[in-house]
Structure 1
Amino acid sequence: MSLTDKTFIVTGAASGIGRVVALQLLSEGGKVLAMDTDRAGLDALSRGGGTTDRERLHTFVGDVAEEDDVAACIRRAGDHFGSIDGIVCNAGIMKRIPAQDLSYEDWHRVLDVNLSQSFLFARHGGPKLRETKGAMLLVSSTRAFMSEADTESYSATKGGLFALAHSLAVSLSPDVRVNAVAPGWIDVSGDELRPVDHQQHLVGRVGVPEDIAHAAAFLLDGEKAGFVTGQTLVVDGGMTRKMIYAE
C-alpha cells in the first residue's frame, strides 16, 4: 500500500473524525502522531489502535492554537519517526452564540483553533514536508458555503480554510500538495437519528467519520492523488446539492 511506512500528524485525534482518520491511516500501514488536548482520549486511542500498532502510533498532548505546542509537535514527530509525510489539521471547536453575545475572546479562540492551526503547521511543518514531497490536509466544512444562525465564528474559519488550502498549495508547490476536505453532516455522537435526517441526503443516509477518513487517506496518498492540489473535496452525501422547500 502506498501509505505504508509514511508518517502523519493528525490533530484533534482523541475523538470524532480525527480519531477515525488516525485509525484509517494506521490500517493502511502508516505511522501516526496523534495530537489533542484530551490526554484520556489519546490514551484510549492508543489502546484502540491494537498491540501491533503501538510502535506506529505516538501521542502528543498539546493545543493547536499555541505556536510553541505546534512547533514541539513537529519536533516530536521528527524525533520519533524521523520524517513527516503528511499533516492533517482536523482539530476544531464551535461556539454557537449570537453575534451580539459572542465575546471577542471567544471569536478569536475559534479562529485560533480552527484556522490559525493550519498556518502554524504550515509554518513549522512546511520544511519537513518539502523534504518528503508530502501533503497537508485541512478539514473545512460545508459551512464554508452555507450556514445556520449564530455560527459566524465557525463558518468564517471554515471558509478561511477553503481559501488557505489553495493559497498554501501555491506557496508550497511543487514540493507539497495541500488540499481540504469539507464534511457535511457527520454523525460523531452515535445518537439515534430520525428518518428525515437521512432523507435530506441524496445517498439516503447521514455521514459517518469513516466517510471522511477514506477521503483523507486518498488525498494524502501521493500516488493516487498526486495530481490533486489546491482543492476542497466536499463529502456530504449530496446534501448541499438538494434544494429543500418547506411544505
Structure 2
Amino acid sequence: MSKLVVISGGANNIGKGIAFGFLNEGWNVAIIDNNIEALKKIKEPNLFKFFGDVSNEDDIKKFYNELKIKYKRLDVIINNAAIGGFKNFFELTLNDWKKVIDVNLTGYFLMVKYGAPLMLDCPGKGSIINISSTRAIMSEPGNEAYSSSKAGILGLTHALANSLGPNIRVNAISPGWILHENEQVSEIEHKQHLVGRAGYIQDIFNLVLFLSENKSEFITGQNFVIDGGMTKKMTYI
C-alpha cells in the first residue's frame, strides 16, 4: 500500500505545491484547510480534501478518524497551515495574538497529538515536518505574533523529536522569501539573494521529500533554513 502524507494548509501556495509534489511521487495525499473556495478549485481526484480548522480540536479528530478508516495508516505529517496577523504592535489586541498562536502553533500541536498514534500503528518509522519561517530568527516591525508563533514551532520541533523518537523523526524547515503561485518579483529583488534568485515552492518540496524518506533517517530535531542565504547577509542602510 502507498504511504500516506497529510498536509495542513494544503489548498494554497506552499502547502498545495507540497501536496501535488507528493502526488507526482506516487504517495497518497490528504490535506486539511479552512479555505473552502480554494479546496473546491482543486479537482485532483486522487487528493483527499478535508474542510477544517487546525486550531479546532474536534476538526482534527474528525480528520484523522476519516483517514484511519480510508487509509488505515499515516507515514508523514507536514504542518504548514499559518496566518500572518502582521499589525502595529500598539494596535495588536489579545484576540489578534491568540488567533495567530492558535493557528500557527497550537494547530501544529493538535495535528501531531492526534496524528502520531495512527503513525505509530504503522509498519516502519514516521516523519513529521514543521514549516516555520526565517521570521523565527529575524523580524520586522509588526511581526510580534507571527514571529513568536514561528519561533515556538522550533521549540516544539526539538521537544517532539525527544518525545516521539526513535519511531518518529521531527524536523523543521524555515523558508525565506518563497514565491507563491503566480507571484512575480523584480530582478533587483531576485538579485538581493546570495544565490541570485528568490525561492520557489519546489525548493521547499525537495527538502520535504528528503526528510520524509529513509535517506534522512539519522536526522531529527533540526531546523533547516531555505532562504537563498538572506539570513547570512549583512545589510546596512
Give the alignment's TM-score, normalised by structure 2: 0.95
Match of 1:220 in 2: 212
Residue-by-residue CA offset, 1:135-169 (whole Å, 9 max, x unaligned): 11111000011001101000001000011101000
1:238 CA displacement:
1.0
Match of 2:38 in 1: 41
- Match 1:110 to one of 84, 89, 100: 100
Match of 1:73 in 2: 63
Match of 1:184 in 2: 176
1:189 CA displacement:
5.0
Indicate whether 1:239 and 2:230 are aligned. Answer: yes
Contact 1:34 1:42 (8 Å CA) reproduced: no
User: Over aligned residue pairs, what C-alpha RMSD do you find?
Assistant: 1.3
CA distance in 2, matches of 1:172, 1:98: 38
Indicate whether 1:172 and 2:170 are aligned. Answer: no
CA distance in 2, matches of 1:97, 1:112: 17
SS for the counterpart of 2:215 is: coil
Q: Give, as a single letter, the amino acid of the residue that structure 1 aligns with 2:99.
A: R
Give the alignment's TM-score, normalised by structure 1: 0.92
CA distance in 1, matches of 2:8, 2:182: 21
Q: Which runs of 5+ in 1 are unaligned?
A: none
Q: Give, as a single letter, the amino acid of the residue that structure 2 aligns with 1:124.
A: Y
CA distance in 1, matches of 2:196, 2:63: 40
1:12-31 matched pairs, under 5 angstroms? 12-31=9-28
CA distance in 2, matches of 1:108, 1:31: 33
1:210 CA displacement:
1.3
Residue-by-residue CA offset, 1:99-149 (whole Å, 9 max, x unaligned): 211111110000010000111112111111222321111110000110011
CA distance in 2, matches of 1:124, 1:108: 22
1:195 CA displacement:
2.0
SS for the counterpart of 1:224 is: helix
- Match 2:120 to one of 115, 126, 130: 130
- Match 2:4 to one of 3, 7, 11: 7
CA distance in 2, matches of 1:191, 1:87: 27
Match of 1:91 in 2: 81
CA distance in 1, matches of 2:66, 2:170: 22
Sequence identity percentage? 40
- Match 1:152 to one of 144, 147, 150: 144
1:40 CA displacement:
2.4
1:224 CA displacement:
1.3
CA distance in 2, matches of 1:97, 1:160: 19
1:45-56 matched pairs, under 5 angstroms? 45=42, 47=43, 49=44, 54=45, 56=46
- Match 1:209 to one of 201, 204, 208: 201
SS for the counterpart of 1:10 is: strand
Residues matched between the structures, number: 235
Indicate whether 1:230 and 2:221 are aligned. Answer: yes
Runs of 4+ in structure 1 over 4 Å off: none
1:6 CA displacement:
0.8
